A and B are shown apart, each in its own frame.
Chain A
Amino acid sequence: DAMVIQNPRYQVTQFGKPVTLSCSQTLNHNVMYWYQQKSSQAPKLLFHYYDKDFNNEADTPDNFQSRRPNTSFCFLDIRSPGLGDAAMYLCATSRGANTYNEQFFGPGTRLTVL
């Protein structure tokens, strides 16, 4: 089945130690999104790629970066994780960057910062 895969499902890092989360997709979708979901809150968009074009949300901290080396893979880099960055990180894809294509989400990576 075509799907969105996130690895690892659980990640533990230390305060200030860089961490990378990965997302891959077999849907061949053009757009990939990264969301952050803190405990008991709704998901919040951090940024997205349309093909290789990167689009950052205005309120996404500089501590968060992303890379998309090819259509299938997208990475979320947190350069210096703080305690406030502990959250579920969700990757999603869609066929097009418009309002008539639904988004398909992965299972998420739960990040713990010690």
Chain B
Amino acid sequence: DAKTTQPPSMDCAEGRAANLPCNHSTISGNEYVYWYRQIHSQGPQYIIHGLKNNETNEMASLIITEDRKSSTLILPHATLRDTAVYYCIVPIEYDGGTSYGKLTFGQGTILTVHP
């Protein structure tokens, strides 16, 4: 599976955009990029995913570079409640011939939003 690299921590001021980068240089053509976040003591929460095109939903925007080797998650107006660990994941597509969308979580980026 494509491994991802994220900065261990980032800070953001409340009300400003938070831009979280992720490198996935070994991604293959059919592999998706997913973002999840985990607020302290809660289960992970799905945010957004994409393949080639940029994506936007009510939570965030995902910008994927043309070569697909990196992406950026954008929280347009960060709030204190967005303080969490953000995981960028490229799910494994096949493992021994079985496709099951396995999520392998790295250490993620701890985003701290401050007043």
Contacts and interface: CB of A to CB of B under 8 A. Distances in A.
A90 B43 contact: yes
Q: Is the interface of B mostly helix, strand, loop or mixed?
A: loop
Interface in B61-115: 87, 91-93, 98-108
A99 B101 contact: yes
Nearest to B43: A105
Contacts of A44: 105
Contact of B108 (A31, A42, A92, A103): A42
Interface residues of A, number: 27
Given A99-B93, A102-B46, A105-B43, A42 B100 contact: no
Interface of B: 30-32, 34, 36, 38, 41-46, 49, 51, 87, 91-93, 98-108
Interface of A: 4, 31, 42-45, 48, 50, 55, 88, 90, 92, 94, 96-108, 110
Nearest 4 interchain pairs by C-beta: A105-B43, A42-B105, A97-B100, A102-B46
15 contacts: A44-B105, A45-B102, A97-B99, A98-B99, A98-B100, A98-B101, A99-B30, A99-B31, A99-B91, A99-B93, A99-B99, A103-B36, A103-B44, A104-B46, A108-B42
Given A92-B44, A103-B46, 13 more contacts: A42-B87, A43-B105, A55-B98, A98-B101, A99-B30, A99-B91, A99-B92, A99-B99, A100-B32, A100-B101, A103-B36, A103-B101, A105-B45
